Amino acid sequence: MSQATEQEAYDLLSHLKISYQKVDHPAITSVKNLTFDLPGPQVKNLLLKSKKGKQIYLVILPDEKQADLKKLADELSEKRLSFLSEEQMTQLLGVPAGTLTPLALMHDTKNQIQVVIDVAIDQKDTVGFHPNVNTTTLIIDFVDFQKILKYLNHPPIFENL
Q: Render pLDDT for 24-72 as a digit per residue (tens, 0 to 9).
A: 888 876 666 566 677 778 888 999 999 876 899 999 999 888 888 999 9
Query: In the sheet that 43-50 helps form, which strands lie side by side, from edge to edge?
Result: 81-83, 43-50, 56-62, 113-118, 157-159
Tens-place pLDDT, residues 4-28: 999 999 999 999 999 999 998 888 7
Length of the chain: 161
β-strands 113-118, 56-62: how paired? parallel
| pTM for this prediction | 0.91
In the structure, what pLDDT confidence band is assigned to residue 155 with cuts at 50, 70 and 90? very high
